[in-house]
Amino acid sequence: MVLVEGVSDKSAIEALAERRGRNLAAEGVSLVAMGGATNIGTYIGRFGPPGRGLRLAGLCDAGEVGAFQRGLERAGLGSDLDGDDLEALGFFVCVADLEDELIRALGTAAVERVVDAEGELGSFRTLQKQPSWRARSTHDQLRRFMGAGSGRKIRYSGQLVAALDLDRVPRPLDGLLAHL
């Protein structure tokens, strides 16, 4: 079972698995969007060693790694867990967040092409003109754009994975899929 923070993470993993010719459901792998990293303890308790004893893996943002560490430690899966320990357990950390990883892997020009194909390039250009965003990098503007707007993260995560060159898959996504 793969525990992820939200639906956008789940969509990205599903899209990458499909592109690599894998059917996770047929392999017995369930992807669970927990509705936020702070729910990790509940899910580990329900499905991990204290609960059903399932083999767990996961993906989280760097800012949420503490919640994952505490949840895993409380379940008896280690103590003082660092990044290497987390990966050995099957839990991978995105540098900032999934969108950051995908934007870096694709490059901003490719992400803008995806946004344009969705008919939202005009909305993105409007964000770029806002005083608080003008001086920011295109990368930061794209991250903000993905996070603003109802359902945008969910809609774009799979599309960004679809646009990836498979030899440029972000390390956390690649590591997670290889672990499964």
Please tell me the pTM assigned to this model: 0.91
Instruction: Point out the least confidently predicted range of 19-28, 81-90, 130-139, 147-156.
Output: 147-156
Contact of 53 with 86, CB cutoff 8 Å? no
Give pLDDT tens digits for 36-57: 999 999 999 999 988 898 999 9
SS3 4: strand
How many CA within 13 A on the CB side of residue 55?
A: 7
Q: Which residues contact 2 (CB under 8 A, 6 or more apart)?
A: 13, 24, 29, 30, 31, 32, 56, 57, 58, 59, 176, 180
Q: What is the mean pLDDT of the chain?
A: 94
Measured at the CA of 50, the angle between CA 46 and CA 52, to 5 degrees, comes to 55
User: How many helices and strands in the chain, by DSSP H and E?
Assistant: 10, 4
